[in-house]
Amino acid sequence: MKNEKHTVQAITPRSEDFAQWYTDVVMEAKLCDYSNVKGCLNYLPNGYKIWENIQKNLDARFQATGVSNVYFPMLIPENLLQKEKDHIQGFAPEVAWVTQGGEETLEERYCIRPTSETLFCDYWKKCVQSYRDLPKIWNQWNSVLRWEKTTRPFLRSREFLWQEGHTLHATKEEAEERTKMMAQVYYDFITKDLAIPLVCGKKTESEKFAGAKDTYTVEALMHDGKALQSATSHFFGSDFADAFHIQYLNKNNQLSSAYETSWGLSTRIIGAIIMVHGDDSGLVLPPHIAPTQVMIVPIAAHKEGVLEKATEILHSLNDSGIRTKLDDSDKTPGFKFAEQEVQGIPIRIEIGPRDIEENQVTISRRDTLEKSTIELENLSMKIKELLETIQKEMYQKTLTFLNEHTYCASTLAEMKTLASEKTGFIKATWCGNRDCEEKIKEETDGFGSRCISEEKAQGSCIYCGKEAKHVVFWGKSY
């Protein structure tokens, strides 16, 4: 049967070359492919369906907090992008410019949106007059473009898909609360639906989003020990709104400043799913967002009753809301097994003449690669339970990995040793000074600040020895 495992054999072992393993998994699982448009990807059915499931689950969580979806233009006139100076400095070097429309050369250039804060502020200026018009709690699912030099599937590409939420509030407190609330929504979604454990907290000054007062981040640990920023939530204070002359009449009829937030999660998160859960056989998908949750493979399908029984199971599982497919193609069972494994489908059900005789099916779990048999009675209920078990155990497994790869350093020497010998996060105290932050990164070969832990700092900065202001998670990052 080994020889039939064509697709799996094409995957480089993860321990041998992590980057190549990643690319192999993306290609063999047919998630996306390179297009002939430099730096842009074609999202193929297997990959795009994961994104659709992410959208569905995350959007439901947004709706529950009062978010409304909208759609704003993909083009931003140059003068609009320039209105908030930190923002333009952050984005100008990496935007694409439209200079020609049809036959005419444009008087003013448009950039393709790298993000849409400026468009939302520009509209709010027009439509917000009174406290009655607030808050605005809007979100859009769209694509953005940043003119990146190098490209890696899902992790970095010129065009990518994401959601960007933008909100406007009457008070600073309300805006800050929304910023934290959305960071919590991401935390819940990623840990519960994607089974990815996270560390979270504020970004340092130097790592904040262009123009933001505070940036909250959730960071996941990949299997190679590098961190991946998985979603961010920004508090802008009133800087953006002031730059766009947004003011509203409060209940006392006084002109007041408004406070803005934005928050986003992109297709990068698919890269995290691959690098957190994947193994040498390919992708391993958390059941909550797997396009197909169960693949049925008939064994000796030509024998009487096998295909009928397989089809009966297919319908019964689908009717129970379990996303199930039956592979009744003329490929060999071994080839079908390999395909199910490389695509990360959580459960494989094998059914053959012997299973039918014994009134059972054979089950193979993708996450553990364990096989077992279960009786046909109440199969849908059992499979539903098993999917939830898999979801929970995948989270536990990766949480253990995260805990085992999170170290504490109380001196710089200790941190340097850990940085040279281990991969993962290192927790260490910091004074809040940008120079120390940079030096720590330099002297540990790239352990930059990922986020500021919420725990109270004690003692002194491991670099300068002055009083510590924060405990920081340090790590290498994608």
Nearer to its own copies, 225 or 334 (CB): 334
Nearer to its own copies, 145 or 409 (CB): 145
Cα 370 to Cα 29, 223, 347, 367: the distances in Å are 21, 21, 10, 8
Judge contact between 289 and 53, C-beta under 8 A: yes
> Starting from the edge strand earliest in sequence, which strands make up the sheet with 198-202, in order?
68-69, 136-145, 159-169, 259-266, 227-237, 214-221, 198-202, 448-452, 470-475, 425-430, 406-408
State which of residues 26, 80, 199, 314 lies at the interface with its own copies (CB under 8 A). 80
Closest by Cα among 268, 64, 82, 252 to 163: 268
Residue 103 makes contact with its own copies by CB under 8 A: yes
Judge contact between 41 and 32, C-beta under 8 A: yes
Residue 27 makes contact with its own copies by CB under 8 A: no
Please report how close the Cβ of residue 409 comes to its own copies at its closest, in angstroms: 38
Q: Which of residues 144-203 bind its own copies (CB under 8 A)?
A: 145, 147, 158-159, 161
Residue 422 makes contact with its own copies by CB under 8 A: no
Report DSSP state, residue 40. -
Judge contact between 301 and 310, C-beta under 8 A: yes
- Side-chain half-sphere CA neighbours of 424 within 13 A: 21
Nearer to its own copies, 158 or 476 (CB): 158
Closest by Cα among 173, 177, 200 to 455: 200
Residue 478 makes contact with its own copies by CB under 8 A: no
Residue 42 makes contact with its own copies by CB under 8 A: yes
With contacts defined by CB under 8 A, how many residues of the chain interact with its own copies? 52
State which of residues 4, 23, 61, 77 lies at the interface with its own copies (CB under 8 A). 77
| DSSP-assigned states of every residue in 243-279 | HTT-EEE-TTS-EEE-EEEEEEEETHHHHHHHHHH-B
Select from 121-129, 246-254, 308-316, 336-344 the region that touches its own copies (CB under 8 A): 121-129
Please report how close the Cβ of residue 362 comes to its own copies at its closest, in angstroms: 28
Nearer to its own copies, 113 or 450 (CB): 113
178 φ, ψ to 5°?
-65, -40
Please report how close the Cβ of residue 426 comes to its own copies at its closest, in angstroms: 34
Please report how close the Cβ of residue 13 comes to its own copies at its closest, in angstroms: 26
Contact residues: its own copies, CB under 8 A: 33, 35-37, 40-45, 48-49, 51-52, 68-77, 80, 93-103, 109-110, 112, 119, 122-123, 126-127, 138, 142-143, 145, 147, 158-159, 161
